[in-house]
Amino acid sequence: MLEFFSKGGIIMWPILLCSVFALAIFAERLIRFAKTQNRGAGLSEKVAFLLLDGKEQEAIREAETSVSPMGNVLVQAIGVKDKDREILETVIINAIDEEVRTISSHIQALATIGNIAPLLGLLGTVFGMIKAFMVIQQMGGKVNAAVLAGGIWEAMLTTAFGLSVALPTMMAHSYLTSRVDKYEAKLQDGAVTFLKSIK
């Protein structure tokens, strides 16, 4: 494996760096999701019950002490619950968007890496092919098929490496994006529960 890597040329290093960044981002986001997954579970129902019971201050404390995205949304919503309905809904939408941006930070970088890695691989292959044909020119065109094939397969190593990095990276991006979508849906459901409690 190390022999293949060394024969791929200098372009193999930025592709390797892309794979390290992608793995780090994926691992960090997984840990973040694991920490926030169950935070705020059932919070909107608790806050709604307290508001229906006229215990606004207790509802605020419940939301604040949850230290969760749902709690952050509810704190902002409770603060303007007596305002015009349009203002209240705008505040809730903005609060949810803010939490979604926080939870999805760096995920777009995975898509960028997934697009860059195969292009770097292609670039490395082009460089390798140029070198192979330069050797042929230097030999006056007197080169056998084995020499030509050897130069070509070494040149294509970078494309193979780039694709092997890009494919799992794009899969990781799709998986994390689906997790973000589900989390956003939970926040929206919680916001609906809250809105029903103040009718």
**pLDDT tens digit sequence for 177-197:** 999 998 899 888 888 888 887
40 or 95, which is more confident = 95
Please give the pLDDT value at position 151: 67
Please give the pLDDT value at position 175: 95
- Has residue 164 got a pLDDT over 80? yes
- Tell me, what amino acid is at 6? S
Please give the pLDDT value at position 78: 85
Please give the pLDDT value at position 74: 87
65 pLDDT band, cuts 50/70/90, is confident
Kindly report the pTM of this predicted structure. 0.81
Domain boundaries, the chain: 2-197
Average pLDDT on 145-171 reads 82
- Report the percent of the chain where pLDDT is more than 70: 91
- Has residue 73 got a pLDDT over 80? yes
Give pLDDT tens digits for 101-153.
Answer: 988 888 999 999 999 999 999 998 888 888 777 777 777 656 666 666 666 77
